[in-house]
Amino acid sequence: MEIRATTKYLPISPQKLRLVCDQVRGMDPVAALALLRSMPQKGAGFAFKTLKSAVSNAENNFELDPADLVIAKIYANEGPRRKWRRFGARGRFKPVIKRSSHLTVVLSERELEPEPEPVAVDVAGEEEE
């Protein structure tokens, strides 16, 4: 089961947000929230709020325990760009592009790995089937 939370139109470039996303991808949400809280980047605050929303969705809507979840996907897509200009000397202008991004967090339940069956070994050290 996939639990999803999306935050749109964040005032940060997707390139900067992806640096934060790469740090927490594949982690369990509780450890990821602790890591994001201590990171100094601006994007860590946005990722923290979105991840906390995804964990709350799992608890309230699907009645899942956060300890049994893992961050399956976290990605930042490009949002709309806001173009404006800053005027320069001698009648020129300098174009400025303000980028925005959309952040998506997808949580899934942790899959339990089946334990391997023990292999019987006889006295000579050869495997039996």
CB atoms within 10 A of CB 125: 6
Buried b (16+ CB within 10 A) or exposed e, 28-57: bbeebbebbeebeeebbbbbbebbbbbbeb
Return the CATH number at 44. Answer: 3.90.470.10
Which position has the token pair 């949580």?
Answer: 107
Please report the pLDDT score of residue 17 as a whole number: 97
119 inside domain: no
Give the H or E element holding residue 100: none
Question: Closest by alpha carbon to 5, among 125, 95, 106?
Answer: 106
Residue 121 has pLDDT above 90, yes or no: no
Structural domain tally of the chain? 1
Q: What is the dihedral of CA 109, 68, 72, 114, to 10 degrees?
A: -70
| Per-residue pLDDT tens digits for 51-109 | 999 999 999 999 999 999 999 999 999 999 999 999 999 999 999 999 999 999 999 99
34 inside domain: yes
- The band of 112, judged by pLDDT with boundaries at 50, 70 and 90, is confident
122 inside domain: no
Residue 31: which domain range? 2-109
| Per-residue pLDDT tens digits for 3-43 | 999 999 999 999 999 999 999 999 999 999 999 999 999 99
123 inside domain: no
